[in-house]
Amino acid sequence: MNVLAYLPYAVSFWIFAMGCYGLVRCRNLIAAVLALAVAQSSTYVLLLSIGFHKQAGAPIFSPTNPVGSPAVDPIVQALTLTDIVVGATVSALILALSIQIHRRTSCIDPERLSPMSE
Partner 1 sequence: MSTTFVRLVPAFSVAVPLMAAAVLAPFTRCCTRAVSSVVTTVACGLVLGMTLFLLFYSSAHGTIVHWMGGWEPSHGTAIGISFAVDPMGAGLAAFVALLVLCATVYTWIAVDLVGTLLHVLLLAFLGAMCGYALTGDLFNMFVWFELMTAAAIALTSHKIEEASSISGAINLAVTNSLGGFLVLFGIALLYGKTDALNLAQIGEALAKQPIDAALTASFALIVCGYFVKGAVAPFHFWLDDAHAVAPTPVCLLFSGIMVQLALYGVARIYFGAFAASFAPHVCAIGGLFLGVGIATALLGALMAYAQRHLKRLLAFSTVSHSGMFVAAIGLFQPGAIAATALFIAAHGLVKSALFVCAGTYLNRFRSLDECVLGGRGREAPANSAMFLIGGVALAACPPFAISVAKAAFDRAMDARGLAAVSLLMALVSAIDAGAVLRSGLHITFGIGNAQDTGISPREEEPETIGDHLESTPWTMLAVPAALLALALWLGVDERIWHGIERAGAVFVDRHSYVGAVLGGHSLPLPDASGPKQTAVSLTLNLSATALAIAIALAGLFRHRIPRQLKVASRPFAFLRNLHSGKFADYVAYLMVGVAAYGCWLVVALPR
Interface with partner 1 includes 26 (CB under 8 A)?
A: yes
Q: Which helix (H) or strand (E) holds 7?
A: helix 7-25
- Minimum distance between the CB of residue 63 and partner 1, rounded to whole angstroms? 26
Interface with partner 1 includes 2 (CB under 8 A)?
A: no
Interface with partner 1 includes 104 (CB under 8 A)?
A: yes
Helix spans in 26-111 (H): 29-50, 74-105
Interface with partner 1 includes 53 (CB under 8 A)?
A: no
Please choose, from the candidates 104, 97, 106, 108, the residue with its C-alpha nearest in 3D space to the C-alpha of residue 118.
104
C-alpha 71/C-alpha 69 separation (Å) is 6
Phi, psi of 101 (to 5 degrees): -65, -35
Chain residues that interact with partner 1, rule: CB under 8 A: 12, 16, 20, 23-26, 29, 32, 36, 39-40, 42-43, 46-47, 50, 75-76, 79, 82-83, 86-87, 89-90, 93-94, 97-98, 100-101, 104-105, 110-111, 113-118
